[in-house]
Amino acid sequence: MDRLPKIALPAIIIFILLAVLIAKSAVTIGSGEAGVLYRTFGGGVVTDQPPMGEGFHLVAPWNRVYIYEVRQQEVYENMKVLSSNGLDIQLDASAWYQPKIEVLGKLHQEKSDKYKERILLPAIRSAARSVVGRYTPEQLYSTKRDAIQQEIFEETKRIVDDQYIQLNEVLVRDVTLPETIKEAIERKLRQEQEALEYEFRLVSAEKEAERQRIEAQGKADANRILSASLTDKILTDKGIEATLKLAESPNSKIVVVGSGDEGLPIILGNN
């Protein structure tokens, strides 16, 4: 140490202090993130400026930067709710959400980075209980799941919209009923399906019977019209035509003996 120039020691100390200062001042914000600046001696959280974007930033070493993920995220919630008749329903749902980036400073100042636990999840639970309480277990199990999902989304969105949270979607993944209720509903649905099938068979049988009646009536009408139009002259002409065709056959010998009824010839033949 005695051999070092007198300026070397202060230079080393300054270099170390600069390195520490730069390390404290450098902030890197990753992809899909944004930063909220906190000024220790300048009014606290910065809310009147846009948040810090992706990349490298230098800030005063006495200030802090809180980094938030601003991409769409998903949160899962498994909850017990009551149906309209007071039965316990197990509901599995998830929500797609993200912080509103333009008011990220206010979100940090008023809600902190725990906004999911403090705001979003309680809002989903409240909306789910309110919506499910309007439906019976049968509706939840079968026909109303899409409507329930949409209503939970709308009610949750109404709660969190002014809490600096953007809600994109709510998905109802599963509705679990008590086993006895589930079996009763399935039995009722099977009975309804069997009744519909029986009704369909009855309608089909009635249509087939009606078709046969119409077909028989059509044949009867055709025969009546044909009978009314057949005169002795027409029958004689038809007989002559048939006799001529038979006479032209190479496989028959024809012998005419007098004449038959209605003036038609009698034809005898052998091979």
Same domain, 114 and 162: yes
pTM of the predicted structure, to 2 decimals: 0.61
Residue 83: how many other CB atoms lie within 10 Å: 21
- Alpha helices for the chain (secondary structure H): 8-25, 104-110, 115, 121-132, 137-141, 145-160, 179-229, 232-247
Instruction: State which residues form the domain around 44.
Output: 8-69
Q: How many domains does the chain have?
A: 4
Same domain, 211 and 150: no
**Tokens coding 67:** 């980094």
Cα separation, 36 vs 108, in Å, equals: 8
Sole residue written with tokens 């099977």:
190
Residues 6+ apart with CB under 8 A from 30: 54, 67
Same domain, 56 and 23: yes
Same domain, 26 and 106: no
Same domain, 219 and 167: no
Reported confidence tier of residue 167, pLDDT bands at 50, 70, 90? very high
Which of these, 50, 44, 52, lies nearest to 102 by C-alpha position? Answer: 50
User: Backbone phi, then psi, for 48, in 5-degree steps?
Assistant: -100, 10
Interval 123-134: pLDDT, tens: 999 999 999 888
Please check whether residue 81 is in contact with residue 133, taking contact to mean a CB–CB distance below 8 angstroms: yes
- Look at residue 2 and tell me if it is in a domain: no
Reported confidence tier of residue 257, pLDDT bands at 50, 70, 90? very low
Position 159, amino acid: I
Same domain, 138 and 202: no
Q: Which of 19-33, 119-133, 255-269 has the lowest mean pLDDT?
A: 255-269
- Look at residue 1 and tell me if it is in a domain: no
Position 265, amino acid: P
Question: CATH code at 142?
Answer: 3.30.479.30
Same domain, 152 and 207: no
Sole residue written with tokens 């034809």:
267
Last residue of a domain, one of 69, 86, 118: 69
Please check whether residue 151 is in contact with residue 131, taking contact to mean a CB–CB distance below 8 angstroms: yes
Please check whether residue 51 is in contact with residue 69, taking contact to mean a CB–CB distance below 8 angstroms: no
Same domain, 206 and 238: no
- Look at residue 98 and tell me if it is in a domain: yes
Same domain, 156 and 139: yes
Task: Give yes or no for residue 37 having a pLDDT over 60.
Answer: yes
- Look at residue 240 and tell me if it is in a domain: yes
Last residue of a domain, one of 69, 93, 117: 69
Same domain, 170 and 126: yes
- Look at residue 3 and tell me if it is in a domain: no
Last residue of a domain, one of 177, 197, 214: 177
CA-based torsion, 176, 177, 179, 184: positive or negative: negative
Cα separation, 61 vs 258, in Å, equals: 138
- Look at residue 52 and tell me if it is in a domain: yes
- Look at residue 132 and tell me if it is in a domain: yes
Same domain, 157 and 106: yes
Cα separation, 229 vs 245, in Å, equals: 24
For 79, counting Cβ atoms within 10 Å of its Cβ (0-12 exposed, 13-18 middle, 19+ buried), the class is middle
SS3 per residue for 26-77: EEEECCCEEEEEEECCCCEECCCCCCECCEEEECCCCCEEEEEECCCEEEEE
Residues 6+ apart with CB under 8 A from 70: 32, 33, 34, 98, 99, 101, 104
- Look at residue 120 and tell me if it is in a domain: yes
Same domain, 101 and 173: yes
Interval 223-249: pLDDT, tens: 777 666 656 666 566 666 766 666 666
Q: Residues 46-52: what's their mean pLDDT?
A: 91
pLDDT of 233 reads: 62
Q: Which DSSP string do the residues of 114-161 spell out, in sequence order?
A: THIIIIIHHHHHHHHHHHHTTS-HHHHHTT-HHHHHHHHHHHHHHHHG
